[in-house]
Structure 1
Amino acid sequence: MNDRRIVIVTGGRLGGWALPLIGPDDFVIGADAGALFLARRGIRPDIALGDFDSVTPEELALVRAASAETREYDPVDKDYTDTELAWRLAVAKRPKEIVLVGGIGTRFDHTLANVHLLRFAAREGVPACLEDEHNRIRLVSGSLRIADEGYPYVSLLPLTETVTGITLTGFLYPLADATIEIGQSIGISNKLTGDAGTIAIKQGLLLAIESRD
């Protein structure tokens, strides 16, 4: 499946803004309430999965009818969140990219756990991101090209204790072979100076967060 994207829609904060993020050729996975969101909007998930503890029996019936395949899990006898179950399934399919929609929400514990899923995808060599109407979050483990796609701010935050050899080109505030430690805010609110910029690092893991107000 390395010629297709996988879009995972999970049960965080969702709205009409999410619909344009799903393309006609994408393989779509709905996780728990994310599957219900898709079903109610006439989008057929290729796979709906989860323990479905956040939907009613009537809503689950709608999900089953609207989905090409449904995988149901016991809400107690499982080790992973529904989002991680969907993420692991997506990574195993080796897609061109994974996009997680609805992974940023009011539950900060779930949001942070979803950000950490980027490391799992990077370890398997699968490009991935989290998106909502204000943010796109990716992980830099070597280099990353950032194109100007309507996000005025680009912030960099270490996911490991230290990130070394950080070099930024095409940014208002460039860096050359710099080091950022976890807890430092020097990487917040940078900006592109042209159509694109490049982030390169030598060691560590660095979150690249494109954002708009």
Structure 2
Amino acid sequence: MTHPRILIFSGGHLGPWALQEIQEGDFLLGVEGGALYLLQHSYQPDFALGDFDSVTPQEQTIIKQGSKKFWSCDPVNKNETDTELAFTWALNQKPREIVLLGALGSRLDHSLANVQLLYQSLQAGIPCRIIDEKNQVQLLKDKLHITKSRFTQVSLLPLTLEVRGVTLSGFQYPLHNATLTLGHSLGISNILLADTGTVQITSGLLLVIQSAD
């Protein structure tokens, strides 16, 4: 079975903004506290998974009873984070898109690891976005169309040593066939002027981060 979109609610920072991302027909995948958050706001997870070491036994029971499908793994004998386990499962369903919510939080190591998950979706050819209250993150290897939204700032950060052929259209600060180098801030805080803009590269991997002040 394939799904039009899979929304993964992880245990990082969540809020009303996350619930606003839900559309009719979305498959809701709750990871630990993310599943609990959905239930607390009257949304039933289609699938809840994790080792559930970040919730109480009572909360785990609530999640198990309230979710359509439930799977608990050993908290020690596993090599992936709970979010990566959920992400791998989602990739295997071959959805139209994956949206990660609650994937960014106070743990920088977990946040960076979740950003790096975007590489897996890129390799699989499945669009993926990480969204929190102030940011939307995508990974690009060729071309990306951006539409005006609540995220007004657009920043470009290389995920490889160099990203070549960077060309922007529809932005306040255009670039044409530029090279962005890891460790430099040339691509920070651009602004989309048109209703839609395009970011295009010829080689490398580029993080496109849209932010709201």
Corresponding residue for 2:150?
A: 150
Identity in percent = 49
| 1:7 correspondence with 2:7 | yes
Aligned mates of 2:149, 2:15 — CA distance in 1: 20
Q: CA RMSD in A?
A: 1.0
Corresponding residue for 1:130?
A: 130
What one-letter code is carried by the residue in structure 2 that aligns with 1:112?
L
Matched position secondary structure for 2:24: coil
1:68-93 Cα shifts (integer Å, max 9, x gaps): 10010000000100000000011111
Corresponding residue for 1:106?
A: 106
Deviation, structure 1 residue 28? 0.8
Aligned mates of 2:55, 2:77 — CA distance in 1: 18
Matched position secondary structure for 1:176: coil
Aligned mates of 1:36, 1:139 — CA distance in 2: 29
Aligned mates of 2:157, 2:135 — CA distance in 1: 14
Deviation, structure 1 residue 3? 5.8
TM-score by length of 2: 0.98
1:86-136 Cα shifts (integer Å, max 9, x gaps): 000111111111000001111111000000000010000000010011111
What one-letter code is carried by the residue in structure 2 that aligns with 1:18?
A
Aligned mates of 2:150, 2:15 — CA distance in 1: 19
Answer yes or no: is the 8 Å Cα contact 2:3–2:93 preserved in 1.
Answer: no
1:130-164 Cα shifts (integer Å, max 9, x gaps): 00111110011110000001221000000111111
Matched position secondary structure for 2:191: coil
TM-score by length of 1: 0.98
Answer yes or no: is the 8 Å Cα contact 2:160–2:182 preserved in 1.
Answer: yes
Aligned mates of 1:192, 1:59 — CA distance in 2: 43
Corresponding residue for 2:59?
A: 59
Deviation, structure 1 residue 209? 0.4
Aligned mates of 1:146, 1:3 — CA distance in 2: 24
Matched position secondary structure for 1:120: helix
Cα distance change of structure 1 residues 143 and 46 upon mapping to structure 2, 3 Å threshold: same
Answer yes or no: is the 8 Å Cα contact 2:30–2:49 preserved in 1.
Answer: yes
Aligned mates of 1:108, 1:97 — CA distance in 2: 25
What one-letter code is carried by the residue in structure 2 that aligns with 1:140?
L
Q: How does 1:30-49 map to 2 (within 5 A)?
A: 30-49=30-49
Aligned mates of 1:82, 1:22 — CA distance in 2: 21
Q: Is there any run of 5+ residues in structure 1 with no aligned partner, and where?
A: none
